[in-house]
Each structure stands twice: as structure tokens, then as C-alpha cells.
Amino acid sequence: MHCVSRYVVLCCNLLAAASASASGIAVQVQDAAGKVLPDTVIYVEPEGAAAAAGGKPAGAQIEQKGLKFMPLVSVVQVGATINFPNNDKVRHHIYSFSPAHKFDQKLYSGQAASPQVFDKAGTVVLGCNIHDKMIAYVKVVDTPYFAKTDGAGAARIELPAGKYVVKAWHYNTVGGATPEQALTVKAGAELSTAIFKLPMKPVVVDDAGSGL
Ligand SMILES: [Cu+2]
């Protein structure tokens, strides 16, 4: 019993130490006019060296619900597995023509879709053969350090000391622009901050009131 309680105390101390000395970067993403941009992928690549080995990458899930993929944008590390549960009453036929991961999952419902392993860095665009408006993006990154901006265009990534390149990717930039900034994290430093301004294509207004 004593051993257990001592272990718990040790854990808590370690957690407290980690959060008190969090170093890394807090990013704010905007368009050229200063409007905040949710759903932007921020990823941080260590400079001049392979990313630290971090075990098996975390998996993800892209659900189909209400004739939409959810979430619209996903970010995973190379090697991650993604599941595609269909929670609609209708069947979907999902596919990708993207070189980073081509696949074709014929009509299915429920949990029947095969999980897909994303083993190449790049951008994967998903569609559905039955429902043309369904679209989703998977950004596959070759680093364990990544995040997606929230509704306020903000993201935060904790990093060990080192030199990095920080990149900001959004599916709707002009020419696929992915701006980057150099970052040096010193041991024991507080969070750095950075602002990214992305050149955005005009948003195409969906057919309002088209019913389906
Ligand atoms: Cu569909």
C-alpha cells in the first residue's frame, strides 16, 4: 500500500514540474485581413535531424455523419491508422486520389470500412463517390509535434529544447502556400509566440437552401 501511494505522489510531482516549465510555441493564425483561421494544421519539424522516435503514432477517426466527414481536417503522424465509422443510415463509398495515400473503400455502412494506415507525409483529400459534396483533408506529418488551430485560430505545442521549423498549413491557401518560421527553444524557456498570416482563396459560398 505504501508503495502505491508513494508512486502516486511521485507522478503528481512530475506532472506539476512538466506544466510549470512548459516550453514550446503558442501560435495564432489569421488570414491577410486579420480574421482568425480555425482548422489550420501547425507542425514543427526539428531542424537538420530526424524527428525523435516517439513510439507508435496515435490513431484517429473520421466519422461520416449527416452526409459529412467529421472532422473536416485531421492531422496525424506518418504511420498512423485512421478509422472511418459510417454513422449515417445511407452507405458511403469513400476514396482518395492523393499520391500520399490512394485508396478506395466501396459502399459500406457501420464499422465495415477497413482502417487505413497513412505511411507517407503529405496531404490526402477524401471524397465520397455517392455524395459529391463530402470532403475531408488529412495532413500527414513526419514529426510528433503538431496541432490544429481551434475556433480562435490558436494552437499550442510543447517542445523540448532545440532548433525547429514551424509550418502552418490550411487546405484553402492560394497555391497551397505553407508558410514557415524558424524557432529556437532554449531549455527552461517559456512558451514562444508566433503569428502566421495565410493568403486565403475566397470562400466559395455553398448553394444556400438547396435542401439536400
Ligand atoms: Cu457518401
Which sign, positive or negative, has the C-alpha torsion 42, 45, 46, 47?
A: negative
| CA 88–ligand 1 middle distance (angstroms) | 9
What pLDDT, on a 0 to 100 scale, did the predictor assign at position 14? Answer: 44
Residue 22: C-alpha distances to residues 41, 57, 66 (Å) = 21, 22, 39
| CA 100–ligand 1 middle distance (angstroms) | 22
Cα of 160 vs its chain's centroid, Å: 20
| CA 111–ligand 1 middle distance (angstroms) | 14
Do 80 and 60 form a contact (C-beta atoms < 8 A)? yes
Note residues around ion ligand 1 (Cβ under 5 angstroms): 92, 128, 130-131
CATH 2.60.40.420 domain extents, the chain:
52-142
What whole-number distance in Å separates Cα of residue 17 and Cα of residue 28? Answer: 26
Question: According to DSSP H, which parts of the chain are helical?
Answer: 2-20
What pLDDT, on a 0 to 100 scale, did the predictor assign at position 6? Answer: 44
Pairing of strands 41-46, 146-148: antiparallel
pLDDT in tens, 148-158: 999 999 999 99
pLDDT bracket for residue 8 (50, 70, 90): very low
Q: Which residue has the higher pLDDT, 212 or 22?
A: 22
How much is the mean pLDDT over the chain? 86
| CA 90–ligand 1 middle distance (angstroms) | 8
What is the value of pTM for the model shown? 0.84
Question: Furthest-apart CA pair in the chain: how many Å?
Answer: 66
| CA 127–ligand 1 middle distance (angstroms) | 8
Here the cell at position 92 is 458511403
What pLDDT, on a 0 to 100 scale, did the predictor assign at position 209? Answer: 45
| CA 134–ligand 1 middle distance (angstroms) | 7
**For the residues 13-27, what does the mean pLDDT come to?**
66
Asked whether the predicted pLDDT for residue 16 surpasses 70, the reply is no
What pLDDT, on a 0 to 100 scale, did the predictor assign at position 49? Answer: 63
pLDDT in tens, 42-96: 999 998 765 555 678 999 999 999 999 999 999 999 999 999 999 999 999 999 9
- In CATH, what is the architecture of 24-51+145-201? Sandwich (2.60)
Which sign, positive or negative, has the C-alpha torsion 29, 136, 131, 84?
A: negative
CATH 2.60.40.1120 domain extents, the chain:
24-51+145-201
| CA 151–ligand 1 middle distance (angstroms) | 26
Do 134 and 68 form a contact (C-beta atoms < 8 A)? yes
- CATH number belonging to the domain at 52-142, selected among 2.60.40.420, 2.40.50.100, 3.40.50.300, 3.40.50.2000: 2.60.40.420
Q: Indicate the DSSP class of residue 86.
A: B
| CA 71–ligand 1 middle distance (angstroms) | 15
